[in-house]
């Protein structure tokens, strides 16, 4: 806990990703797929939909615990910091904020995930709650020193 992980892989977001994924999820805002319409605007070009940015950054951050994910509980917060354009490369950094009690389903984890672009600007900040499988009743995430700290309503609700 409290260790900051810089995840190994980066991913360049291409025009293909931006257009394919925003249309796949039926996002009708032209800012994601009409280059001509975006030319007169402050952005100047199509922008990558924030939902895609979020999903990719979370994907990049999940290499360390892959198959141990048991269940996603929710995302307390997703905040966009800077726009992402076609051609930007994203990287992920994560940090465990809190670990909860272990049950037969696994252990609750609250994780902070940050996405950065090739210029080291933060593009998104994410807090997510999920249950990780535990090995023999002990959490598979390295144990931290110190107590559990304050618990949020969400964690109490999960209990």
Residues that bind other proteins (CB under 8 A): 9, 11, 17, 20-22, 24-31, 37-38, 41-42, 49-52, 54-56, 58-60, 62-63, 66-67, 69, 71-80, 83, 154
- In this complex, which beta carbon is closest to other proteins, that of residue 56 or of residue 108? 56
Beta bridge partners of residue 12, listed in sequence order: 89
Q: How far is the CB of 85 from other proteins (least distance, A)?
A: 14
Length of the chain: 159
Q: How far is the CB of 130 from other proteins (least distance, A)?
A: 9
Q: How far is the CB of 95 from other proteins (least distance, A)?
A: 19
- In this complex, which beta carbon is closest to other proteins, that of residue 144 or of residue 154? 154
Q: CB count, 10 Å around CB of 118?
A: 12
Question: Structure tokens of 138?
Answer: 């002990």
What is the C-alpha to C-alpha distance for residues 130 and 28, in angstroms, rounded to an integer?
Answer: 30
Q: How far is CA 35 from CA 12, 51, 89, 149, in A?
A: 19, 19, 20, 48
């Amino acid at each position: 806990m409290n260790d900051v992980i810089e995840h190994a892989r980066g991913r360049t977001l291409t025009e293909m990703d931006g257009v394919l994924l925003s249309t796949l999820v039926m996002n009708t805002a032209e800012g994601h797929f009409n280059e001509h319409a975006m030319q007169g605007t402050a952005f100047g070009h199509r922008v990558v939909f924030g939902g895609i940015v979020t999903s990719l950054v979370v994907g990049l951050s999940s290499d360390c615990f892959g198959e141990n994910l048991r269940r996603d509980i929710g995302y307390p917060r997703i905040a966009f910091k800077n726009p992402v354009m076609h051609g930007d490369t994203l990287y992920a950094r994560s940090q465990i904020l809190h670990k909860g009690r272990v049950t037969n389903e696994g252990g609750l984890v609250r994780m902070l995930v940050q996405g950065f672009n090739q210029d080291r600007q933060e593009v998104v900040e994410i807090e997510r709650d999920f249950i990780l499988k535990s090995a023999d009743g002990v959490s598979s995430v390295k144990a931290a020193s110190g107590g559990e700290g304050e618990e949020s309503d969400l964690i109490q609700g999960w209990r």
